[in-house]
Structure 1
Amino acid sequence: MFRKILVVCVGNICRSPTAEMMLRTALQTTRIEVASAGLQARVGEAMEPAARQVLEARGQTAEGFKARQLTADIVNESDLILVMEKKHVNEVLKIASHARGKVFLLGKWQSEREIQDPYRQGQAAFIHAHALIEDAVSSWAQRLGH
Structure 2
Amino acid sequence: MKKILFVCTGNTCRSPMAEALFRAKTQGEGFEVRSAGVAAYDGQPASTHAIQVLQERGIDSEHTSTRLNGELLAWSDLILTMTASHKQAIQTYFPEAREKVYTLREFIGVEGYADIADPYGGSLEDYRRCAVEIEELVDMLSDTMKRIRES
SS of the aligned residue for 1:25 comes to helix
Residues 55-66 of structure 1 correspond to what in structure 2 (within 5 A)? 55-63=54-62, 65-66=63-64
Residues 1-146 of structure 1 correspond to what in structure 2 (within 5 A)? 2-63=1-62, 65-108=63-106, 109-111=109-111, 113-146=114-147
State the TM-score, normalizing by the size of structure 2: 0.89
Q: For residues 26 and 91 of structure 1, what CA distance do their matches in structure 2 show?
A: 28
Q: For residues 138 and 19 of structure 1, what CA distance do their matches in structure 2 show?
A: 10
Over residues 68-106 of structure 1, what are the superposed CA-to-partner deviations in whole Å (9 max), with x where a residue is unaligned?
100012111110000001111111113310212211111
The letter of the residue matching 1:21 is A
Deviation at 1:107, TM superposition (A): 2.0
State the TM-score, normalizing by the size of structure 1: 0.92
Q: For residues 57 and 38 of structure 1, what CA distance do their matches in structure 2 show?
A: 24
Q: Are the equivalent residues in 2 in contact too, given 1:27–1:145 (CA < 8 A)?
A: no
In the alignment of these two chains, the number of paired residues is: 144
Deviation at 1:42, TM superposition (A): 2.9
Q: For residues 42 and 128 of structure 1, what CA distance do their matches in structure 2 show?
A: 25
Greater share of helix residues, 1 or 2? 2
Q: For residues 142 and 93 of structure 2, what CA distance do their matches in structure 1 show?
A: 27
Instruction: Give the superposed CA RMSD.
Output: 1.3
Q: For residues 46 and 60 of structure 2, what CA distance do their matches in structure 1 show?
A: 10
The letter of the residue matching 1:66 is T
Deviation at 1:56, TM superposition (A): 0.7
Deviation at 1:40, TM superposition (A): 0.8
Over residues 33-77 of structure 1, what are the superposed CA-to-partner deviations in whole Å (9 max), with x where a residue is unaligned?
0000010113101110011111111111113x1111000121111
Q: Are the equivalent residues in 2 in contact too, given 1:71–1:95 (CA < 8 A)?
A: no
SS of the aligned residue for 2:4 comes to strand
**4+ runs deviating over 6 angstroms:** none
